[in-house]
Amino acid sequence: MTKNSNNTINKRNRILNQTTVPWLEIRRKIMHLYPLAIPIVYHYISRETTLMILIPIGAGYVFFDVLRHFHAGFRKVFDRIITNNFLREHEKYGLIGSSYFVLGAVASIILFPKPVAIASLYVLIICDAAAGIVGSGWGRTRIFGKTLEGSLAFFVSGMIVIAFTMGDNLLWGTLAVIGGALVELIPTGLDDNFTIPLVAGAIMAIGYWM
């Protein structure tokens, strides 16, 4: 085999490695898409009813999330079903993203007007999924451990979300998406499943109340 042939094969392998489909991240984000039911259902029922349903669910999430750290038998089952298939390394030692999501959803529904809470939850669920999949699969420009490509995916998908949910207030919706993208990108020490809806919701709420 000639040197040129080896170079061609090596180049092709590098391209294949660079475009590997991020199946772990896709599985994680598919698991995180089922909470789309929360803003969809909240659109049709009252805040009080939504919280009556969501708060017990959130309490259950956190309870079992904490239990796995203290009960060896439960942790073994949890690891086999959840940890080994979906979790990132840091989630193995603290709360998982789903627990933070439910806490963020409850806080958003309590704090923000209904249209704002719904929009902020869509931003979190859809945009964070887009950022994670694009960033882990095709991101090349690293920033704070994340990727520029992932942040662009967050912004583009966020503008689509805002067009459908806050079309009458695109300025504040755009600022909210930018704020959410920055929170997703910059390490704050807090889980972005909790911070994204609160930051995006707070920005949209300002425009809503003005």
Q: pLDDT per position in the chain (210 positions), as tens?
A: 454 544 544 444 454 444 455 655 566 556 666 788 999 999 999 999 999 999 998 898 889 889 988 888 888 888 787 766 666 666 677 788 788 899 999 999 999 999 999 999 999 999 988 888 888 888 889 988 889 999 999 999 999 999 999 878 899 999 999 999 999 998 888 889 999 999 999 999 999 888
User: How many domains does the chain contain in total?
Assistant: 1
Residue 21: inside a domain: no
Tokens 């590997």 appear where? 20
Are 197 and 104 in contact by the 8 Å Cβ rule? The answer is yes
Residue 6: inside a domain: no
Token couple for 205: 């709420």
Look at residue 86 in the predicted model and tell me its pLDDT. Answer: 62
Look at residue 16 in the predicted model and tell me its pLDDT. Answer: 40
Look at residue 176 in the predicted model and tell me its pLDDT. Answer: 96
Are 104 and 194 in contact by the 8 Å Cβ rule? The answer is yes
Residue 4: inside a domain: no
Residue 2: inside a domain: no
Residue 172: inside a domain: yes
Which range marks the domain in which residue 154 is found? 27-209
Is residue 45 classed exposed, middle or buried when 0-12, 13-18 and 19+ CB atoms within 10 A define those classes? exposed
Cα–Cα separations (whole angstroms), residue 37 to 15, 43, 134:
38, 10, 23
- 147 - beta bridge partners? 142
Tokens 């503008």 appear where? 159
Residue 10: inside a domain: no
- The dihedral through the CA atoms of 35, 38, 41, 43 has a sign that is negative
Tokens 């929170």 appear where? 183
Residue 87: inside a domain: yes
Look at residue 175 in the predicted model and tell me its pLDDT. Answer: 96
Residue 9: inside a domain: no
pTM here? 0.80
Tokens 């919280």 appear where? 51
Look at residue 25 in the predicted model and tell me its pLDDT. Answer: 59
